[in-house]
Structures are given as structure tokens and as C-alpha cells.
A = this chain, B = another copy of it.
Amino acid sequence: MPQTSAAAAMTPETGIDRLHQLVRDDLERVDALLLDVAKNDVTLIPEISKHLIVSGGKRLRPMLTLASARVCGYQRGMHHVTLAAAVECMHTATLLHDDVVDGSSLRRGQPSANALWDNKSSVLVGDYLIAQAFRLMVRAESLPVLDILSDAAATIAEGEVLQLATMHQLDAGKDAYFRVIAAKTAKLFAAACEVGAELSDQRAHRTALRTYGHALGMAFQLTDDALDYGIGTSEKRLGKAIGDDFRDAKVTLPVILAYAAADASERRFWERAFTPGQQQKEDWQQARQILARHQALEQTRAEAGRFLQEAAAALNNLPESQEKSALLEVLEFCAARTY
């Protein structure tokens, strides 16, 4: 069970490094598959795909698929590698479309694809990668797996559309916000874990790993939301511009909590700062002060902590193994992470 105090004593790298070491060989195979998928004589396709694939993502989702398959005793072949690549490929496609929709200029510390090329190319290469993700899934020859991942793809898109409709609503409320991030972020974490379990004969573990993935994904997104307000991190470390959510007037949990607790003057501040065209440069510092006054970032990370506990509990009935320990350490990484 992750504790904030234990997590603070541990460097974040430890939490994810054990998992990385355990699946290192398979992860290299995943990378090779991804580069293979990006190969195309239409040069824009490998250029844009590789820009994202080699740009230093944490590969957390494919590692979850690989570890989940191993936790459940999968040893019969290489389908876990194929599916891990499919999951990362789907994630990469989502990033390309996300950056178009958000108008982002930075991704993982590098200029985003839509900034380097253009929106059109990002949309179409994203479509190409979604299709390639499905081609990889088909190679794993499992209809239940295809069911899980096509359902996830639909839910992710649904979450993105829902976010578009609600992202500027200061009074959206925690539950509505949780619905958005459950769909757009946590669903792929859940599916990444679940397909690993589905490959083995241990079907009983499927629910446990889906629950673990969902809760980890929720915590991961909430931590992202807090980090975007720049507590305990820097742009360089985070690999993306701090304050993007605020500048884009994207309402995330810290703001929802601070707005709910605001006095009349603070409410007026948030309403103006989140009105298109009304935000001023000095608002950023004031936003951080108000968030600090209401401990909104601490509360957000505490919500993340509750999901991390839920994730840990989900693994209770799984047999002990190195992979299970590594999955538990991922939760500590998430609790402590600054990037």
C-alpha cells in the first residue's frame, strides 16, 4: 500500500525501474515492432511516427501489458509483446490527435508534431497509427482482446469529446471530471493490464488487473493535473510546458476544488481567467496563490493517493511474484513522481 511518507523517501526512478528491468527484453521487442509499424515509403509517416516513438515516452502502458501477462503466467508465445506494441501505438495516435485538439506546441520536452509539421499531417498519421494498432491486435488472434481494446478506443474518444464539452466549466464538479479522466486516461491503463491477463488462462485475474489499471490511470492523470501547476517540478523535468492547462483554460481537479471553495473575489478571478481572451500574464501567479490557499494541489494528490490504494488492494489476491512487486512499486512511483 503506497504511503506518501514511504513514497517521499524513495526516488521516483526506483518505482518504475524495477518494472523496466523485469520486462526489458520484451520492451526492446516492443520498440522494434513500433519502429517496424512506422516504416513506410510515404516519408511523412515514419518521420512523424518516429518523432513520437523515439521521443522518450515512459512506455508505462506497454510495460503494464507485459507485466500483467507475466503475473498471470503467460508463457506460450509473443502475443504479449504484440499487444504491448498495439497499446503504445494506440496511445501514440491519441497523443497526435490530442495535440491537434489542444493546439499544444510542446510534447515530452520537444516541439509537438503539429508544431513541427501541421495539423493535417498529425490527424492523418494518427489515423494511420490507430489502424496499425488494430493490425497488431489482430495478430494476437484473440477476439476477447480485440473486444477489450476496441471498446477502449471508443471510450477514449468519447472521453475526449466529453472533455471538449466540459473543459471550460468551472462548476463541472468532481464526479463529472472523474468521468472524463476515467475515459480519456484510465481506460487505456485498464485495457493495457486487462489484455495481458486475457492472454493467459487465469481469467479470474482479469478483473483484478483491470481495476488496478483503472485506479493507476486515475492517479496518474490527477498527478499530471497537479504537476501542471508546477509544484515540485520544472518544465525541463516535466518535459512539457508548465501551466498549459491554465493557459488553455482547461478546468482540471485543482481548479474545480479551488473554485468550489472560493470566496466571491476568487470566483470572479477564476471566471475571468477562464473566459477566452480575458486571461492576463500575471494571473498565473495569482492562480497558484489561490490554489495554495485552498491546498487544492495537496487535495488533488490526496485523491490520487486514494486511487493508488485502490490499485494496490486490487492486486491482493494475485499470487506473489516479482512482477506483482514491480506493479506495486509503480504505485509508489506515481505517488512520488515529479515528471
Contact = CB atoms under 8 A, between A and B. Distances in A.
B154 A135 contact: yes
A97 B124 contact: yes
Interface in A87-126: 97, 100-101, 119-121, 123-125
Interface residues of A, number: 39
A42 interface: yes
B165 A124 contact: no
B131 A150 contact: yes
A147 B135 CA distance: 7
A154 B131 contact: yes
Interface stretch (A156-164, A216-224, A235-243, A292-300): A156-164
A104 to B, nearest CB: 12
A296 to B, nearest CB: 27
Given A138-B150, A158-B45, A165-B42, A120 B143 contact: no
Interface string A129-147: 0111011011001010011
Contacts of A131: 150, 153-154, 156-157
Contacts of A128: 154, 157-158, 161
B127 A100 contact: no
A275 interface: no
A41 to B, nearest CB: 9
A201 interface: no
B101 A120 contact: yes
Nearest to A159: B42
A77 to B, nearest CB: 16
Nearest to A145: B138
Contact of A143 (B138, B161, B165): B138
A44 interface: yes
Contact of A124 (B101, B119, B146): B101
A40 interface: yes
A146 B138 contact: yes
